[in-house]
Amino acid sequence: MLFKNTISNLARIRQVAEVLLRYGFEDVVTTTPLRRLVSQNRRLRWLEVDERPVFETTRWERIRLIIEELGPTFIKLAQALSNRADLLPQALIDEFEKLQSNVPPFPTEEARQLIEAELGRPLGEVFSEFDDVPLGSASIGQVHRARLHSGEEVVVKVQRPGVREKVEGDLRLLHELVRITAGFLRNQGLANPQDVVDAFERSMTKELDYTQEARAMEQMRKLYEHYTSFYIPKPYRELSTDKILVIEFVNGCKITDKAQLLAWGLSPETVAETGMDIYLTQIFEFGFFHADPHPGNVLVRPDGTIVLIDFGMVGKLTKQQKYAFAGVFIGMARQDARSMALNFRRLSLTSDIPDMRAFETDLNSLIEDFALLDVQEMSMSDLADSLQSIIYQYKLQVPGAVFLILRALVILEGIGKVLHPHFNTFEFVRPYGARILKEQYSPENILTEAEYTGTQLLALLQTLPIDLRQIMRKISKGDLRVKVELSGYASLLRKADQLVSRTIIALLLLASILFAGLSLLGHYPPEMPYFRGLPIITWYSLGAGLFLLLLLTMPQRSRRSE
């Protein structure tokens, strides 16, 4: 099996190399071990499918074309990366957002067989009706409408046969490609390509397990159990496995179907406002949100209730991340670049910003750009692009949920403008920012933070004596070893060595000058020789000082001459 997988991966890697060459990415192939898989005399065909020379398209467009040709797993990776503005330039993100996973449905007979195999009983024992025509299909699975014997209408999400093995094979290929091209990718600015693939692998593993989606739906249902304007369909856990998911069927229209909303006597403006309120509550109150609110996933019932479907992609923020994210918007509303910078630093997984002044200056420029705009001119899309550009420029490692939120807000703004002529996202976000600020500095939260800090301090005080005792015991036995690894330290050590040497010489020079001055105050015996009215010892001190002065200036001259 291992040999078979190796041969399969090799053939697939050779295919990838050929696709890269066909789209003009010779540099990727010729500067990495991929070059060994392509014959030297192979003639290149520099044409796309539509017969345009590849160099008439941009590099970013050609990357998208390559992804489309390599198949569904690569498309899903690119779609996931389209939410990571900290890793990719905006031009490439724009191309990745064009990718569509248009996969034809698989035969219904295979879906029936898989359901029966998963549930361990005939389909007729579970469903009184089962629609053979899928409602929709994607790269991972497809959805059928059905009815239980109890009369309840449901939808059945069925995983595509063999997709798990296909995805696992593609993931192995991705790991191998990253290993081969790691140096090239790092030179292109992608510092941690292996981490990206690891994160994608975790995401795909969750998506291949439908029980994860069922849990997310149940969690959201619990959070909103008392809401009357919002509904999440019920998952039937007893009829679901990791490969099939049975969910309550909900009747409704797409939220952007303005004509149907008006026919039902609903106000499109009210629907838009309710939808935005629901999403901002998920983000800023619960820190747990549906991350893919495109119109097909947001339905409206005839009574105006908003329904969210497809919880395959959800986002989470910790309490501290939620406060920091809100603080970015609050700082912008107050035109306070320093507050924005500090909250970005709190939001980042690593707070390494080399030049905070330049960072604050860029944030201030962003604030000035938006401060001059009228409320109706402000766009969440423009703001998201500007924020993502700054994140990419300064290589801030912010939680992936932040990009999911920005993307969701842009989508919601687009929906809102279809339904509401005066819809403005910022007007909805502003009160939530104030509410978050109030929550952050509430007595209860301050007490919680104090308790956490106290617990951490107490734990430190409890372990510190033991740690110190162990260190002292090792020191007394001569067993203490300190391991230090430095990178790129040669020039730093040279400068440190020069600095120490010059400092010692300067101190000796100062000592000789002081001694020469003090020697003039001494009372010497008649034998002490004098020259030009000064004792000879003073001349010796001045001579030593002159020599040290020459030594002090020589390194500078030698360095300049190099």
Whether the predicted pLDDT of 86 surpasses 70: no
Q: State the SS3 of 131-180.
A: CCCCCEECCCEEEEEEEECCCCEEEEEEECCCHHHHHHHHHHHHHHHHHH
Which percentage of the chain shows pLDDT scores above 70?
Answer: 76
Q: Which string of DSSP letters, residue by residue, matches 13-70?
A: HHHHHHHHHHTT-HHHHHTSGGGGGS-TTPPP--B-TTS-BGGGS-HHHHHHHHHHHH
Active site residues: 292
Q: Hey, which of 189-193, 219-223, 520-524 has the most confident mean pLDDT?
A: 219-223
* Residue that wins the pLDDT comparison between 165 and 117: 117
Task: Dig out the tokens for 445 from the structure.
Answer: 């939260």
CB count, 10 Å around CB of 324? 22
Give the separation between CA 171 and CA 73, rounded to whole angstroms. Answer: 8
| Strand-pair category, 153-159 with 230-231 | unpaired
Which structure tokens are listed for 446?
A: 């301050």
Give the chain's radius of gyration (CA, Å). 34
For residue 265, name the pLDDT band (cuts at 50, 70, 90). very high
| 49 compared with 552, residue with greater pLDDT | 552
Top-confidence residue, 428 or 376: 428
State the chain's maximal CA–CA distance in angstroms.
128
Instruction: Categorise residue 85: left if φ over 0, alpha if ψ from -120 to 50, beta otherwise.
Output: alpha
pLDDT tops 50 at residue 225: yes
520 contact partners, CB below 8 Å, separation of at least 6: 534, 535, 538
- Side-chain-side CA neighbours of 57 within 13 Å: the count stands at 22
Structure tokens at 116: 């029966």
Mean pLDDT value of segment 410-421: 86
pLDDT score recorded for residue 487: 54
Q: Which of 48-57, 136-145, 368-377 has the highest mean pLDDT?
A: 136-145
- Residue 322 and residue 405 in contact, taking contact as beta carbons nearer than 8 Å: no
Strand 306-308 with 230-231, pairing: parallel
Q: What is the pLDDT of residue 557?
A: 43
What per-residue confidence (pLDDT) applies to 36?
58
Residues 425-437 have a mean pLDDT of 76
> What pLDDT, on the 0 to 100 scale, is given for residue 66?
77
**More confident: 466 or 181:** 466
Quickly state the pLDDT bin for 470 (edges 50, 70, 90). confident
Virtual torsion, Cα 322, 325, 331, 337, nearest 10 deg: 140
pLDDT tier at 558 (50, 70, 90 boundaries)?
very low
Q: Which helix (H) or strand (E) holds 309?
A: none
Q: What is the pLDDT of residue 258?
A: 93
pLDDT confidence of 9, banded at 50, 70, 90?
Answer: low
Averaged over 12-17, what is the pLDDT?
Answer: 64
Q: Are 122 and 116 in contact (CB under 8 A)?
A: yes
245 conformational bin, left if phi > 0, alpha if psi -120 to 50, beta if neither:
beta
pLDDT at 530: 74
Instruction: Please spell the DSSP secondary structure of 202-243, one letter per residue.
Output: HHHHHHT-HHHHHHHHHHHHHHTTT-SSEE-PPB-GGG--SS
Is residue 192 over pLDDT 70?
Answer: no
Read off φ and ψ for residue 142, nearest 5 degrees.
-145, 165
Mean pLDDT computed over every residue of the chain: 78
Which 3-state string (H, E, C) describes 348-376?
A: CCCCCCCCHHHHHHHHHHHHHHHHCCCHH
Q: What is the pLDDT of residue 1?
A: 42
Q: What is the pLDDT of residue 535?
A: 78
Mean pLDDT of 439-467: 70
In the predicted structure, residue 559 carries a pLDDT above the cut 60: no
Question: Cα–Cα distance between 551 and 424 in angstroms, integer?
Answer: 70
pLDDT category at 442 given cuts 50, 70, 90 is: low
> What percent of the chain is predicted at pLDDT more than 90?
23
Strands (E), 229-295: 230-231, 244-248, 253-254, 288-290
Torsion angles phi and psi, residue 299, rounded to 5: -110, 160
- pLDDT at residue 13, as a whole number: 64
